[in-house]
Structure 1
Amino acid sequence: MGAGAGLSRGLTLCLMSLVCVPQLALAAFVPAIPAISEHFGAGESDLSRSMVGYMTAYAASMILTGHLADRYGPKRTQLAALALFAGASALCLLASGVAVFIVGRVLQALGAGAGTVIARLWVQRELPAQERLNVLTALTTVIAVTPAVSPPLAGLLVQYTSWRSLFACMTALGVATLIGAVFLLPSAGSGDAPPAPAARGTEQPDTRAVRAPAARRATDTESRTRIRTKAAGHGSGGLLAAYRNVLADRDFTMFAITISLAWCVYFTFTTYSSHAIQTGLGASPVEYGALYTVVIAGYVSGSTVAKRLGRARSLEWIARLAALTAAVAALAMTAGVQLWPSDPLSLVVPMGFCMVGVGAMFPTCQAGMMRYRGEHAGAASGLFFALQMASGAAYAGVTGWGGDPGYRGLAVAIAVPALVLLLFCAVMMRSARGSSGGRTAEAPVDSSRGVSVRS
């Protein structure tokens, strides 16, 4: 049985692979930074800052994916993106210089980001509301587990083989996921092909069976025409109008800012911790991978806590608690690195607790974003994740502008967005709760749209 009723295991695995690809390409790269910089004779800080380029391209990919999926269909867009990811991974594998390698990483991000949007878009468009929860839970599990598992494995590959073997694995993953998507990812409802036949065991098979082929083709053609006409309207004027409509929604803007601040906390650690711990403190790639797993374990714990709290508490209440947890841990981190500047645990252990708050914040903000009920749901999803990724890239670029922040500077760079996050949630989330009547995280669901209904 698949993750959801009527969903095959093959299709479930395909969707899980789509969200695994970008997480793996980001997290597995971090332990390899010192080895890659040594091979090319480049500074580690330069390779760390290449993460900024990766995340910028990742954000751009999410913006492009939503509109390309509207125009050409989610399946075609996803197949093209996976082909780009596989080719870019091969380019990194065969790169003879650091410039070519960085170009490959940017192209990797452009291809990888599509799965983040399209997997959720497919679930929203193609599954009935009652069948979505299991699939979304499976996708969230993959997103949480992949960054925890990949750094230790990547550290083993780098330490005992070569950093190139890591990109050989990414190339193979891209090709395998592309082949699976060709056969398993449906085209129904996307404009790629006429709708797929109804699932077996439905109540009225005879009624659908006797529908005239000509009438069915006319209906399918009309549906695809509406989709393409709407996509064509998303030109310069239509696109800007869609974004204005989305950004005018209070819930969307509030939760987009919140998740962006939380992502700045996480991505700053991911960008600079490899240099600080491996080069500054002499940890091996395997040791760093194990330490990184502690941090991701905090994220997984936070996500689990948020899910349980969501049964009885509002999204705003959970967000305030998560922000408080992250800020207190970040402040403890800044004190710890001053007291024990040569012990990596003084950074990693508080960061693990900080990630409990960040991990709780991510699903909470995504649920809050789904309160948006306008006609531009695709644009809203792409813009939401693009703002998140772009904010992390921008902040990491600023903190590393004058060079690597170092061990103690990294703790301060993490604490700043954590404190701003706490201030924002204390002010904005409190007023939002008062105006919304204390909505809970698991508000009723509109089965026709699959989003929380406003109180």
Structure 2
Amino acid sequence: MLGSLSAFGALTIDMYLPAMPSMAGELGTSGSLVQLTLTVFVVGLAVGQVIVGPLSDAWGRRRPLLIGTALYVGGSLWCALAPTVEWLIGGRVLQALGAAAGTVLARAIVRDLFEGVAMTRFFSTLMLVNGVAPIIAPVIGGQLLAFTTWRVVFGVLAATGALILMAAAWALPESLPTERRRPADFRTVVASFAGLIADVHYLRHVIAAALMFAAVFAYISGSSFVLQDGYGLSAQQFSLVFAANGVGIVVLGQLNGFLVGRVAGEAVLLRVGLTIATVGAAGVLTCGAADLPLPLLEISLFVMTSMFGLVMTNATSLALSAHASAAGAASSLQGLLQFLIGAIAASAMTLTGPATATAMGATMLMCTAGALTLMGRRPMANETAGPVFEAGALLMPLVHLDKNSSSAK
């Protein structure tokens, strides 16, 4: 169940990727506006997590999850019926706000129930389901396009969301007991986020995860145009290439679950994954700049994307390890930075026109190299997050104020 919820974002993004070129023609709009539907979804997913996470720390996980999943179903139906690209963008916003609940609360529920290496291994297990989504979603989308239109893709997403909603209502119990809940008032929420921002250990792992996600998101948002328009693949061929890269994510995620605690710790595995991802990204850039054959490009893409399963699992576990009392807020801030940085990277990649292999490779390399640089240096024992984040430290006393005391008044 948690794997299905955590896969909402990937499923909703990847299933309609093969249809993006044909959507532009049917809706009478440009490829850039169709790509905007992807960026809007990611931004909405980020904003929605910031709302849902703190609410779940106060209300529990179950109620926000059911409300968000119902909203997702409604947004998917809106997209299926959209007459113009503007209406489609509106539906994607609604869909994203709903999907945010599953994305952020799956991580929070894991943190409610597990700690240490057990938490990392469970995140690796989630990566099995989360990685299957990018394998099957574009294949399903590509096969649907062989005999129907892109609108049916969104209908399938609505039906999938409805099934997950019914299963969650029936089978998913509450994981956050009442005695561990926190108030959802403005003071407490601001103090929670301020404490997270002031925590250099949390922040560096979250940013490393966000940069890795941005590298993969550059591939997600640009690959359909690069491989179909640039290399002449059909929608069905593209979906198979995309699925092959998803297999790498699943395999490395499961391998991480076996290695962690037996061969190496989370921090070592994280740095190894980022190093290999950087090599793969450099290969993509080289293939694009030198106009190398498609098989070499596909190998480089496989190397880079497969490290997602290794990097995200360990970075997420390390980031959430010290924040059991505010797992919803910690998970939501991670999601916010992850998807906002991903959206910025995808938008920057297309500033000069449609995505190319060179632009995609350059974006990937900047993101993976930046994450590797961030994780390559161990912080000093008393190091703070720096002047940019000092506001977080200044607001920390709010956590300890008693709202009924005279000082708080």
Q: TM-score, normalised by structure 1?
A: 0.77
| 1:67 counterpart residue number | 54
Counterpart of 2:258 (choices 308, 313, 320) is 308
For residue 361 of structure 1, report the CA deviation from its aligned partner.
0.7
Any idea what the Cα deviations from partners look like across 1:248-303, whole Å, max 9, x if unmatched?
A: 22221110111011111100010111112112222111111111122222222332
| 1:100 counterpart residue number | 87
Residues 312-321 or 33-42, more deviating: 312-321
Residues 73-82 or 15-24, more deviating: 15-24
CA distance in 1 between partners of 2:115 and 2:320 (Å): 16
For residue 111 of structure 1, report the CA deviation from its aligned partner.
0.4
Return 5+ residue gaps in structure 2 as ranges.
383-409
1:240 aligns with 2:190: yes
Counterpart of 1:356 (choices 299, 306, 327) is 306
Counterpart of 1:178 (choices 165, 172, 183) is 165
1:161–1:309 Cα change, 3 Å: same
Counterpart of 1:139 (choices 119, 126, 131) is 126
Q: Which amino acid counterpart does residue 183 of structure 2 have in structure 1?
A: A
| 2:284 counterpart residue number | 333
CA distance in 2 between partners of 1:320 and 1:130 (Å): 17
Q: Which amino acid counterpart does residue 268 of structure 2 have in structure 1?
A: W
Q: Which amino acid counterpart does residue 285 of structure 1 have in structure 2?
A: A
1:156 aligns with 2:108: no
Counterpart of 1:281 (choices 231, 243, 251) is 231
**How many aligned positions are there?**
381
Residues 349-358 or 285-294, more deviating: 349-358
1:358–1:132 Cα change, 3 Å: closer
CA distance in 1 between partners of 2:138 and 2:175 (Å): 37
CA distance in 2 between partners of 1:281 and 1:358 (Å): 25
Counterpart of 2:215 (choices 262, 265, 282) is 265
SS state at 2:34 partner: helix
Q: Which amino acid counterpart does residue 55 of structure 2 have in structure 1?
A: L
1:364–1:107 Cα change, 3 Å: same
| 2:4 counterpart residue number | 17
CA RMSD of aligned residues (A): 2.5
Task: Say if 2:46 and 2:340, in contact at 8 Å, map to a contact too.
Answer: yes
1:161–1:41 Cα change, 3 Å: same
Aligned-residue identity in percent: 25
Q: Which amino acid counterpart does residue 167 of structure 1 have in structure 2?
A: F
Any idea what the Cα deviations from partners look like across 1:198-230, whole Å, max 9, x if unmatched?
A: xxxxxxxxxxxxxxxxxxxxxxxxx4xx83xx3
| 2:183 counterpart residue number | 231
Counterpart of 1:317 (choices 240, 254, 268) is 268
Q: TM-score, normalised by structure 2?
A: 0.85
Task: Say if 1:65 and 1:77, in contact at 8 Å, map to a contact too.
Answer: yes
Any idea what the Cα deviations from partners look like across 1:104-145, whole Å, max 9, x if unmatched?
A: 112111101211222333344367999978865543211011
Task: Say if 1:246 and 1:374, in contact at 8 Å, map to a contact too.
Answer: no
Counterpart of 1:371 (choices 311, 321, 345) is 321
CA distance in 2 between partners of 1:121 and 1:374 (Å): 9
| 1:53 counterpart residue number | 40
CA distance in 1 between partners of 2:225 and 2:252 (Å): 26
Q: Which amino acid counterpart does residue 186 of structure 1 have in structure 2?
A: P
Counterpart of 1:389 (choices 339, 345, 349) is 339
CA distance in 2 between partners of 1:81 and 1:172 (Å): 15
| 2:205 counterpart residue number | 255
Q: Which amino acid counterpart does residue 72 of structure 2 have in structure 1?
A: F
1:23–1:283 Cα change, 3 Å: same
Task: Say if 2:21 and 2:225, in contact at 8 Å, map to a contact too.
Answer: yes
Task: Say if 2:120 and 2:257, in contact at 8 Å, map to a contact too.
Answer: no
Return the structure number with greater relative CO, CA threshold 8 A, min gap 6.
2
Any idea what the Cα deviations from partners look like across 1:431-452, whole Å, max 9, x if unmatched?
A: 24x869xxxxxxxxxxxxxxxx
CA distance in 2 between partners of 1:122 and 1:420 (Å): 30
